[in-house]
Structure formats: C-alpha cells, structure tokens
Structure 1
Amino acid sequence: MVPWILLFFIGLAAGTIGSLVGLGGGIIIVPVLLIIDQYTSWLPDLSPQMIVGSSIVVLVAIGLSSTLAYMKKKSVDYKSGALFFLGSGPGAIIGAWFNKFIQVDYFSIYFGVFMVLVSILLMVRNHLRPMKIDGQFLRIFNDPEGNEISYRYSALAAVIVSFLVGIISGLFGIGGGSLMVPAMILLFGFPTTIAVATSMFMIFLSSITGTLAHLALGNVQVFLLLGLIPGAWIGAKCGSFINQKLSDHTVVVILRWMLIIVGIRLIWQGTMG
C-alpha cells in the first residue's frame, strides 16, 4: 500500500509544479524515483532508463490535463506550440535512443549537473532583458482581459532550439519545459503566461513521440504508471489553477532552490556510487 500512496503523491507534486511553471513534471519524478530506488526497497528494482521511460509516459497525462485547463483560459499559442514540436518531436526520439548508453552512476551525475544548471537559468532569467531573436513569424494574441499582445521570432531558430530541448527531454525524461519556457521568454519574447501554457501543449505533443520510442525500447514500467498517472492528472489541474492565483516569480524562487538541493544530492550519489 505504501508504494501506491508514495507514487500518487509524487505524481501529484510533479503534475502541480510541472503545470504551474510549464516544466512538465519529469524534473520532479526522475530524481525522486532515483533517490527512492537507491535507498529503499519500496519499489521494484528500476534502471534509470526505466524511470525515464515511465516518466515520459506520465508527461503525456500531465501535458494533456494541463493543456485542457489552459485551453479554457485561452492561454495556449497553438501555432507556436506546433512549430516547436517540429523540432522537439524528433529530438525526443533521438534523446530516448541516447539514453540506453548511459551508465547508472554517470546518469545521476549528468542529471544532477543538469538540474543545477536549470536552477541557475531560472535564477537569472528574471534579471535579464529578453534577447529577442527577431524573425518573420509574427504572433498576435488576445489575453483573457481583451488586451492585444504581439511578439515576433525566427521560425528556424525556434525549430533548432526546440530540437536541442527535445533531445534533452528524451534523454532525461524531463519534458523539455525547464529549458523551453526560459527560451520562449528570453529568446522569443513570449509573455510568461503564454509561454507556460504553450510549453505544456508542446510537452504533450513531444511526450507522445518520446513514449513511443521508450515503449519500443522496453523502458516502461506499468507499476509506476498506475501509481503516478492519477496523481499527475489531478496535480496538473491544480497547477494550472494556482498559476492564475500566485506570482510566477514566487514559485520559481522556491523551485530553483529545490532543484539545486536535489541536483547536488544526485551528483553526490553518482560520485559515491
């Protein structure tokens, strides 16, 4: 009974945080399961590849649940999300293929370093002016209050950036939003609310391709899915609701320190193994 309750709350936390700031949730699921698998016997023996593959499947549920919620608030830029998917979809497949070559100890180190870098990126993003990559792809968006918002960026740059993010997503099972949201804000001039909602839409699409790749590689554990998905679905709804109530800056401050702590823990775990 304990494993099911544990997995439910991990899924709930991942769905809530992932939907709240557009990170997807895998950045919570993967390190937590790595640590639990290392120090307890509550779960069946899991390889990093199995954890990543299962996390990608859960991201489909988180992405769909949060996208449906953001659709009601009219915060999703579908055309931009589809454009980003042109890069992130193939990238996720390549990342899933690379994943099978990573050893357990090295995996923890790589993922820990990555999480620390993400936390630093989140730390500085609000102190930097948007370095917009201008281009011909113009988007005009009306927010729920009726205000018109416009932003323009390069379609080619968007595909290239999302392709690299897709590789990281498939490799580490994190959904890609941890890099895509800052990229949309800093590089492409997206308003934060639209960036978060569009990121969840892109994560939903790219996670489908990542899921197919990991299924083909046998990297999915049904036991994990049955425990994680119900909590993740509910959490994604909660995250999109809280997104409208709290300051994004406040949430990011809490999240970045959590990422630093977990990242350092994983680096230590990998070096000691």
Structure 2
Amino acid sequence: MLFETAGIEVAPWIPPLVAFGVSFVASMAGLSGAFLLLPFQMSVLGYVHPSVSATNQLFNIVAIPSGVWRFIKEGRMVWPLTLVVVIGTLPGVIIGAFIRVLYLPDPRHFKLFVGLVLLYIGFRMAREMMTGKKAEKGVANEGSDDFQTKVLFWNLREMAYTFRGNTHRFSVPGISIMSFAVGIIGGIYGIGGGAIIAPFFVSFYGLPIYTIAGATLMGTFVTSVTGVFFYQGMAPFFPTMSVAPDWGLGILFGIGGIAGVYMGARCQKYMPERALKWMLCLVLLGTAGKYIVEFF
C-alpha cells in the first residue's frame, strides 16, 4: 500500500500490529507509544520527512481516548494534574512545531535530536531504578478502591491528592514550567510530551506511576490535537516540503493503538512498576544509541 505523503510503501497490516505491541507496553507507564513508533517509521519504514512528527501525533489522537476512558472508569484520573499539564504543554507544542519545520528539516540532524531526547529519558529512568526506590506493586483485585485517587486540594501554588493511603503534594508552578519545556521538545519530536513528562513526575516528584498515567495520556492527547492541526495549517506555506500528516498511515497506526492503549491501561495495575520501567529504559537507551551512532 502506497502512502503518498510519507513517500513509502508498506503492507496495511503492519502499522496496526506494530502500534498494538508498542502501545500496550508503553501505556502501562502513561505513554502512548508514539516515542517508539517514531524510530520505527524513520528507520524501518524510511519515513523521514518533517510530516512524520504530525503523523505520530495523529496516532496519539486516534489511540489515546480508549486508555483515558479506562483510567476514568477506574477512578485513577487526577483531573487537576491533567489540567496543569495541558495548560503548560500547549504553547510549548506550538513553538516546537515551528522549530521542527524551520530548523530541523534535515533527517540527519533530526535523528541526532531524537537520539539525545531518548538518551536523556532513558538515563533518567535508569538512574531512578538504580537508586533502589521501591516500586508499587499491582494487586489482583480489579476495581479495588486501593487504586482510586482522591484530590485533597489544589490552587495556583500547590496541589495534593491521596493514593493507597499516601498523600502526594507538589508545586503547581513547578509542574507548569516543566510542562512548557517538555511541550517544546514534544512538539519537535511529535509525541505530545507525555513520554518525557511521565519520567519527570516519577523521578522528580515521586508520584506513583499508577496515578500519573491517565494525566499524561490526556495531556498527550490534547497537545497532539493542537500539533496535528498546526502542522496541517502550516503545510500551504511550505509547498515544497512534506509538513502535513499522512492521514492514512496515522489512522492505521491509531487503529492498533486503540486496542493496545486500552489493554495496557486495563492491565497496568497487575504489573510490577519496576519491571515495566526497566524494559522501557532498555528500549530507550538502545534506540538512542543507534541514532547517535548513525549521526556521527
């Protein structure tokens, strides 16, 4: 099957299958899997135009709602945290889209950028694992109240909620500033920012991965909507460059992602957090190393 915008030809069953596997694992950590689909599109499929970022965000739009719905149903959605993430990342995503089109159209330099972003994420996750922080364990009772969150208070300065008998408190301005910076990187990379901000929540703020997954997925969804339409709107101003998303390819990835994200959200609380993060960490570091070596 030929995808004209992407300039590639691939069997139509491959994108959904790959997206399902990637998103199933990644969604357990609050990620859509877009940060791993990008290397697959660039290295395996040969899709290296700037529009690959927009196509990746289109995948997020199609795939994420199923997982978000599952987190809402189980009472694990921390809505104030979600709101802060969305407000912080939205302007950053727009700035990131400009940078991607104007300053990073060369695939070689973009690969270096992707490699450095993945390397940093992987390094942060590895360092957290090696500090010996105790990970939360899943339980075998689906729908247990132990996995529901309760917001105690939130204002412009501070926010607090409870989870499994523990209170988690953090600075709202700190989260907002971090979300803005992550939004810029996510806008360039085409992942919405969730793959970067989730490790920050766990590493810097000590928030349980079971409670931040819904917020980061929802934030990724909203910023991805903005990113896709922004790239689409910029396309007429760059007629010689592939900027707009490849809708056919993005939707095929999204179809697989719908099932993968939903199943990942449903199975998350049965899995040990530490094992999932080590697996993701190894994938991140391996992919980062490959891109950096290819650049040099």
CA contact (8 A) 1:122 1:256 kept: yes
Q: Say if 2:107 is the partner of 1:104.
A: yes
- Residue deviations 1:109-128, cap 9 Å, x none? 11112212211111112345
> What is the percent sequence identity of the aligned residues?
18
1:126 aligned to which of 126, 129, 132: 129
Spell out the pairing of 1:1-273 with structure 2 (5 A cutoff).
3-38=11-46, 46-100=47-101, 101-102=103-104, 103-128=106-131, 136-141=157-162, 143=163, 147-218=164-235, 219-271=244-296
Amino acid at match of 1:124: R
SS state at 1:217 partner: helix
CA distance in 2, matches of 1:225, 1:140: 36
Question: What is the count of residue pairs matched by the alignment?
Answer: 256
**Normalising by structure 2, what TM-score?**
0.80
**Root-mean-square deviation (Å):** 2.0
Deviation at 1:200, TM superposition (A): 1.1
Amino acid at match of 1:193: Y
- Which protein is richer in helix relative to its size? 1
Deviation at 1:47, TM superposition (A): 3.4
- Find runs of 4+ consecutive structure 1 residues off by over 6 angstroms: none
CA contact (8 A) 2:191 2:224 kept: no
Amino acid at match of 2:120: L
Segment drifting more, 232-241 vs 120-129? 120-129
CA contact (8 A) 2:90 2:223 kept: yes
CA distance in 1, matches of 2:26, 2:193: 11
Deviation at 1:225, TM superposition (A): 1.8
Amino acid at match of 1:30: L
SS state at 2:11 partner: helix
Amino acid at match of 1:16: F
Deviation at 1:90, TM superposition (A): 0.8
CA contact (8 A) 1:125 1:182 kept: no
CA distance in 2, matches of 1:238, 1:160: 32
Amino acid at match of 2:208: P
Unaligned runs of 5+ in 2: 2-9, 135-155, 236-243
SS state at 2:167 partner: strand
CA contact (8 A) 2:97 2:187 kept: yes
Amino acid at match of 1:139: A
Unaligned runs of 5+ in 1: 39-45
Deviation at 1:216, TM superposition (A): 1.4
- Residue deviations 1:54-75, cap 9 Å, x none? 0011112232121111111111
Deviation at 1:136, TM superposition (A): 3.7
CA distance in 2, matches of 1:107, 1:259: 16
